[in-house]
Structure 1
Amino acid sequence: MWELRRVAAGVAGVEVLSVRRDGSPPTAGTRLVFRVRVDKTASSLFGWQRARSSGCFAQLVRTGSEPSGLERLPCPA
């Protein structure tokens, strides 16, 4: 569980909000809640434009090889 937090926090633009065990066997996993921030700069007809966006997501990561879907969440204030 802590390894998952360390790896996710090491990605630029990702802020880990919480990590906890979730569910009961056989569907148990680690629920990771995180915020992703993206900054973009692009040229335009009027010069350089900058945009900043962020979103919060939850993902239940299991030990098996099945895919882990993302759930979009409202970001905390």
Structure 2
Amino acid sequence: MIYNGGIEEVFISDYFDDRKSNLERESIDDVRAEWDTKYHNNICLTDEPVSLEDFPDEYLFFVEMWENEKGKVILVLFMHH
């Protein structure tokens, strides 16, 4: 979806708690350019407990896909480090 135009917007959060999240908009072109080095191997797709040591540079992203008011997909990456 990153490369086929299925994603309208990307937001990255490096801070969140039970009440708020800090979402920063990231350019889809920047995400594509860094996909193989920064994102691809650091995406966590399990709900099971994981260790940061299992991921390159000891950070990971949990992924959510939201829909905007136009019905387009928004990719949200929650970073843990």
**TM-score under structure 1 length normalisation:** 0.28
Richer in strand (by share): 1
Richer in helix (by share): 2
| Larger radius of gyration between Structure 1 and Structure 2 | 1
Q: Whose relative contact order is higher, 1 or 2, with alpha carbons under 8 Å and at least 6 apart?
A: 2
